[in-house]
Amino acid sequence: MTIKVLIVDDSAVVRQVLSQVFSQATGMTVMDVATDPIAAMEKMKQQWPDVIVLDIEMPRMDGITFLKQLMASRPTPVVICSSLTQKGTDISMQAMAAGAVEVIAKPMAGVKGFLEESANQLVQAVRSAAAARMNRVRVMPSAGGATLGGGAPPGGLAPTSNPLETRPKLSADAILSAPTGGNMFATTERIIAVGTSTGGTQALETVLTALPRTCPGLAIVQHMPEKFTRSFAERLDSLSQIEVKEASNGDRILPGRALIAPGGKHMMIKRSGAFYLVEVVDGPLVSRHKPSVDVLFRSAAKFAGKNALGIIMTGMGDDGAKGLKEMHDCGAKTIAQDEESCVVFGMPKEAIRLGAADEVMSLDTIAKAICR
């Protein structure tokens, strides 16, 4: 199936560059472009898109209001394409909470060059969104206003190969050598390593807000652009009993604390005596992501072994599947989110296929498993 994309952005340059990027991708077509949500509504009366690429700050109606109306009337996959300013990232987090399934960061200046260089990321974001099962996305109540149409949302669009991707797909070997399989001596410290992608922002909110302050410390990789992870962590911190923060190099993994890998950096678990900390490093993309779940899980396998629990949740692709298998083989307990509760059953599916998961469970039961 061809993925029909509607681009809603008041910048003519952004509309032009995005149209060119998506038109060149196999299995993807630009259905139409619109300068603001009001114009988009008119176009959607004639034809409904599979994915909407949406700016936030636009004339006549802002993107958040449009998104809420859309999700209340006819849930449709939305990719937010927002600026890198602090204001932009905060508002984009509101959009993710309201039902957007992916977020792409764009700079305030040099937008044309950035979008052209980020073609691979843009195409993959749209493919991930198209594969999302919108009935699994929790959305905020509508802000009111006109409805946008009826009928069932698109679903079941399978991702196709990306001809724009020319770089080799690197494994965790690019950052950290494989574990040797030696026994890791036991400690009273227990840690949780979590990896997720598309649909993960809301999945993590479900899990973290259900955890008590006495829970083991968590190290988390959520595929998200640079600068967005800080706003994401701050939002979760405000909603949770536990402390949630964007990780800094050397932060300890402590009970009642969740550390989220910064966008654009890899995060590894390291051991210092009887306790654990995180190391935040730069490096190449691993499994075409930075941060990479495979890097986090490999470090947990190598330095924590049976003292760790590995959890892989909703997401497109296979990042984390091999790393979870390494954790499993080094004695860690491992969990994969089940298909029924995933927005995109990609990463957990690959982990299950490799025999990496000791248990497969629904999203609502993962917090209880962490506490056990």
| pLDDT score of 155 | 34
Q: Is the pLDDT of residue 208 over 50?
A: yes
Q: How much is the average pLDDT of 131-142?
A: 74
User: Is 266 an active-site residue?
Assistant: no
Catalytic residue selected from 128, 197, 240, 287: 197
Query: CA torsion sign, 79 to 80 to 81 to 86?
Result: negative
Q: Which residues pair with 7 in a beta bridge?
A: 33, 53
Q: Which of 109-113, 263-267, 282-286 has the lowest mean pLDDT?
A: 109-113
| pLDDT score of 136 | 86
| pLDDT score of 115 | 67
Q: How far is CA 124 from CA 53, 111, 160, in A?
A: 12, 19, 10
| pLDDT score of 160 | 31
Residue 276's SS3 state is strand
| pLDDT score of 227 | 82
Distance, CA of 28 to CA of 18 (rounded, Å): 12
How many CB atoms are located within 10 Å of the residue 181 CB? 12
Distance, CA of 231 to CA of 245 (rounded, Å): 9
Catalytic residue selected from 223, 266, 289, 328: 223
Q: How much is the average pLDDT of 196-220?
A: 95
Query: Which carries the bigger pLDDT value, residue 111 or residue 7?
Result: 7
What residue has token string 């399934």? 101
| pLDDT score of 162 | 36
Distance, CA of 333 to CA of 327 (rounded, Å): 8
Per-residue pLDDT tens for 209-238? 999 999 999 999 999 988 889 989 999 999
Per-residue pLDDT tens for 154-190? 333 333 333 334 457 899 999 999 998 655 666 678 9
Distance, CA of 68 to CA of 270 (rounded, Å): 42
Q: Is the pLDDT of residue 56 over 80?
A: yes
Q: pTM of this prediction?
A: 0.84
Query: Which carries the bigger pLDDT value, residue 23 or residue 184?
Result: 23
Q: Is the pLDDT of residue 147 over 60?
A: no
Q: How much is the average pLDDT of 28-32?
A: 97
| pLDDT score of 226 | 83
What whole-number percentage of the chain has pLDDT above 70? 86
**Spatial CA neighbour of 191 closest among 336, 279, 313, 305:** 305
Question: How large is the angle between the packed helices 200-208 and 86-97, nearest 10 degrees?
Answer: 80
Could you tell me what percentage of the chain is helix, strand and coil, using 3-state DSSP and rounding each to the nearest 5? 35, 20, 45
DSSP state of 136: G
Per residue in 203-242, is it b (16+ CB within 10 Å) or e — as a string?
Answer: bbbebbebbeeebbbbbbbbbbbebbbbbbbebbbeebeb
| pLDDT score of 86 | 62
Distance, CA of 345 to CA of 367 (rounded, Å): 19
Distance, CA of 177 to CA of 277 (rounded, Å): 18
Per-residue pLDDT tens for 242-252? 999 999 999 99
| pLDDT score of 186 | 64
Per-residue pLDDT tens for 319-364? 999 999 999 999 999 999 999 999 999 999 999 999 999 999 999 9
Question: Parallel, antiparallel, or unpaired for β 275-281 and 266-272?
Answer: antiparallel
Distance, CA of 178 to CA of 172 (rounded, Å): 8
Query: Which carries the bigger pLDDT value, residue 98 or residue 130?
Result: 130
Work out the angle at residue 349's Cα, subtended by the Cα atoms of residues 202 and 219, and round it to the nearest 5 degrees: 50
* Average pLDDT of the chain, as a whole number: 87
What whole-number percentage of the chain has pLDDT above 90? 69
Catalytic residue selected from 9, 294, 319, 338: 319
Q: Is the pLDDT of residue 260 over 50?
A: yes
Distance, CA of 162 to CA of 144 (rounded, Å): 38
Q: Are 192 and 217 in contact (CB under 8 A)?
A: yes
Distance, CA of 193 to CA of 122 (rounded, Å): 27
Q: Which of 19-28, 138-147, 175-184, 299-308 has the lowest mean pLDDT?
A: 138-147
User: Is 231 an active-site residue?
Assistant: no
Element (H, E) at 208: helix 200-208
